[in-house]
Structure 1
Amino acid sequence: MSVAVGALLHNRYRIENIIARGGMGAIYRAVDESLGVAVAVKENLFGSQESTRQFRREATILASLRHPNLPRVTDHFVIEGQGQYLVMDFIEGEDLLTRIDRRDRITEEDIVLIGSAVCDALTYLHSRTPPVIHRDIKPGNIKITPAGQIYLVDFGLAKTIDPGQATTIGAQALTPGYAPPEQYGQGTEPRSDLYALGATLYAALTHTIPEDALARAMGSAQLTPILKLNPRVSTALTAVIEKAMSVQMDDRYPSADAFKQALLSANTAARQRILQTSETVMPASSNQAVVGSIIGAAAKPKQRSFPWLLAAFGGLLAVGLCLALVFFVLRGQLPSAALSTPSQPAPTAALAAAADTPSPT
């Protein structure tokens, strides 16, 4: 049963509105009355003892994650007889699905930037011990803030890889069109997230949900080529996305970072924006999430300032002028009247005295 708007959940989170609702639960916007900040509360209505144990284990791992393209999981709890709850940062802005539904024309450059940011988040998730698989990447779970920051949200279906253990009941849901064929029963691994991200980018470029992966695996459906739905897309980007959506896992990219590099190779403009942003906003020792804050706005060129160079140039110019003045005075090219004032001795005499040499005049 969904939590009512206005209710105080767990004696701390005041429910403001329902963001999304499904058969497994809902996502709420709430206010953390202890801290006075907006949060997102993810509800999972499966409450068996086994799923509850699995939820507590995985929620603890999710709460330890810190990455610029991921919201923080700040709390988790179970209400007996009701459900399981994850509390995360609330991300302002709109999701990619909203842009698709508006029929916005999303440029190839922005598609590559979005895909690269999500790949950064996946590289981080997949490198955890144990690896964390998101398992529900789709346009509705990619949010873009007003400042252009890209977030991969909604860890409601995330699970950790535990070799030898089957997927728990709380992690068996999927989204047709975006879920890879192995998610229907064989079990997921990091390359499963790459398929879902490829399908998400496919939908953003074509405004069409791709054919179901299980139907493709069984031979009853074929993937409609991106170029047939959107002839304006480059063949290079088309090849990268369709490779990520291969039915066989071994035919996809081996890692999220490999997928990212392929995306950047397909679009020079996006690669250049990332390089410019990494030079201007990221520390020299960091190489992650450099695209997270540049979507929707052109990257600013790197600005360099050289105050020491200007000062040195000014000093050399002054010395040069003084030397030229001395040269002309000593050669008698300038009249002494023009170089002196009534209250000061003639500069020629002063210069001669400073040099301890007789004045030619």
Structure 2
Amino acid sequence: MGKAQELYGMPWGRREYILVLDAYLQSDCSWFSPEDAPVRVLAKLLGRTPAAVVMRMENFASLDPARSETRKGLGHISPLGMRIFEEYFQKRESLRDLAEFLQGEARARDMPLFDDPVIIPRAFGKYELGDLIGDGGFGTVYSCLHTDTSRAYAIKIIKTDKIHDHEVRQRFIREMRALKAIKHPHVICLHEENLDSEEELPAFIMDLAVTSLHEYMMQRSREMGDSVARPLLRRVDAVTVFTQVLSAVAALHKATPRIIHRDINPRNVLLMPDGVWVLADFSLAKFLHSAPVTTAFATQSGQAWATEGYAAPEQYRDFKHVDERGDVFSLGVLLWELFSSAWPPRRTEALMLPPALEPICAKATSWELKDRYACVAELEEAFNGAIQNLN
């Protein structure tokens, strides 16, 4: 077992998915409680907690056409879990044979299916690793389950092949420190981190989102089918998203020291289970002090300038010295994404926005810094005034 697995545990694997899917289908979905005997027996076999087995059954219930109204957990099952479901859902006899073989194999050894005969290690001593839900350039995000409360979270772990890359480590540290520095209802909440105790392979625990704005808009597109019109969100939903993101960025810029996000885009805007939108992924964030200094966390290589189409032009020329107006530019592009009837890419000569929003978007995304809103507060004031005139 490698150090990453010793520290944080192992995500669900093929054999685990097979056994839980078989148990789900055999049960006829009649039990879903961690206290039920079949769940506890299976959990012991897997080296997992009963709550984790129940969460996985809820995932399969959300994929089951007969129970499609039960959506709980759908967004948090890995592509591997989806493939197992698709492969075996209609081949139940084959699944039963395979599951019985795996069970017999485990019982013959009188131990769980994995190397640790007691239980799979837990991140921070209390979080059981679930599914891979995000994979970036330097960090990997998994769902995880608090073993005492059964509450689901997300854990972000630095990639093992990047631990000796100085710039990657600094970005990871910068993200943790930025999240620790700001507490706001529309900024993703960091619950725990281990930078002081685990310098080589750090990780942090944060809230688990339902989906991203990008995926939310893609779902809207799928619902519209072959419509030639661009699949916009409902106007009231778009206003809610943009207002809450504005609030988050304004809070970052008012923090001490100020925080510049530098990567505002729909993939980094997340929907939480309570319906609130939050800003996440602070890997490109920087701390902006009152004096124009280069912080210890500034990127060195000039690579990874943020998301193409959303990054302000100055980010490509002078990444280190981007100020609040860089985030204003990204917010202007997000405003266009939420309200424009034009298909991407965005064209300045044809924004196709409601008349009240067109001058706001044009000013926010001005190529010249001097022509842009000087701060998010100005953009927020203009937007709040304009939405009174939206039809």
- Length-normalised TM-score, structure 1: 0.61
Residue 34 (structure 1) shift: 5.8
* Matched residue type, 2:351: I
Residue 62 (structure 1) shift: 2.2
Paired residues for 1:1-361 under 5 Å = 4-6=10-12, 8-33=122-147, 36-45=150-159, 46-47=162-163, 48-49=165-166, 52=169, 55-56=172-173, 59-78=176-195, 83-91=201-209, 93-101=210-218, 102-103=220-221, 104-145=231-272, 147-161=274-288, 163-165=292-294, 167-169=298-300, 173=304, 174-187=306-319, 188-206=322-340, 208-210=343-345, 223=348, 225-227=350-352, 233-268=353-388
Q: Judging changes above 3 Å, is the alpha-carbon distance between structure 1 residues 260 and 26 closer, same or farther for their aligned structure 2 residues?
A: same
Residue by residue, what CA displacement relative to the aligned partner does 1:76-111 show, whole Å, maximum 9, x if unpaired? Answer: 235565x543321223x3322123213243234432
CA distance in 2: counterparts of 1:235 and 1:107, whole angstroms? 17
Residue by residue, what CA displacement relative to the aligned partner does 1:120-154 show, whole Å, maximum 9, x if unpaired? Answer: 11111111111111222111222234543221122
The more displaced of 237-246 and 163-172 is 163-172
- Residues 178 and 210 of structure 1 are in contact (CA less than 8 Å); yes or no, is this contact kept in structure 2? no
Q: Judging changes above 3 Å, is the alpha-carbon distance between structure 1 residues 152 and 53 closer, same or farther for their aligned structure 2 residues?
A: closer
Aligned residues: CA RMSD:
3.2
CA distance in 2: counterparts of 1:267 and 1:63, whole angstroms? 33
The more displaced of 145-154 and 247-256 is 145-154
Higher relative contact order (Cα pairs below 8 Å, separated by 6+ residues) = 1
The more displaced of 6-15 and 122-131 is 6-15
CA distance in 1: counterparts of 2:283 and 2:146, whole angstroms? 19
CA distance in 2: counterparts of 1:36 and 1:171, whole angstroms? 42
- Residues 172 and 283 of structure 2 are in contact (CA less than 8 Å); yes or no, is this contact kept in structure 1? no
Q: Judging changes above 3 Å, is the alpha-carbon distance between structure 1 residues 225 and 149 closer, same or farther for their aligned structure 2 residues?
A: same
Q: Tell me, what secondary structure is at the counterpart of 1:198?
A: helix
CA distance in 1: counterparts of 2:368 and 2:158, whole angstroms? 31
* Matched residue type, 2:316: Y
Q: Tell me, what secondary structure is at the counterpart of 1:66?
A: coil
Aligned residues: 254
Q: Kindly, what percent of the aligned residue pairs are identical? A: 28
Structure 2: gaps of 5 or more residues: 13-119, 222-230
CA distance in 1: counterparts of 2:254 and 2:166, whole angstroms? 29
* Matched residue type, 1:181: P
Q: Judging changes above 3 Å, is the alpha-carbon distance between structure 1 residues 75 and 261 closer, same or farther for their aligned structure 2 residues?
A: same
Residue by residue, what CA displacement relative to the aligned partner does 1:314-343 show, whole Å, maximum 9, x if unpaired? Answer: xxxxxxxxxxxxxxxxxxxxxxxxxxxxxx
Residue by residue, what CA displacement relative to the aligned partner does 1:5-33 show, whole Å, maximum 9, x if unpaired? Answer: 14643544322112221332322211233
CA distance in 2: counterparts of 1:145 and 1:129, whole angstroms? 26
- Residues 174 and 282 of structure 2 are in contact (CA less than 8 Å); yes or no, is this contact kept in structure 1? no
Greater share of residues in helix: 2
CA distance in 2: counterparts of 1:147 and 1:269, whole angstroms? 29
Q: Judging changes above 3 Å, is the alpha-carbon distance between structure 1 residues 250 and 28 closer, same or farther for their aligned structure 2 residues?
A: farther
Q: Tell me, what secondary structure is at the counterpart of 1:266?
A: helix
- Residues 356 and 389 of structure 2 are in contact (CA less than 8 Å); yes or no, is this contact kept in structure 1? no
Q: Judging changes above 3 Å, is the alpha-carbon distance between structure 1 residues 245 and 144 closer, same or farther for their aligned structure 2 residues?
A: same
- Residues 157 and 170 of structure 1 are in contact (CA less than 8 Å); yes or no, is this contact kept in structure 2? no
Residue 201 (structure 1) shift: 2.4
CA distance in 2: counterparts of 1:178 and 1:251, whole angstroms? 18
Residue 53 (structure 1) shift: 5.8
Q: Tell me, what secondary structure is at the counterpart of 2:232?
A: coil
CA distance in 1: counterparts of 2:175 and 2:139, whole angstroms? 18
Residue by residue, what CA displacement relative to the aligned partner does 1:288-336 show, whole Å, maximum 9, x if unpaired? Answer: xxxxxxxxxxxxxxxxxxxxxxxxxxxxxxxxxxxxxxxxxxxxxxxxx
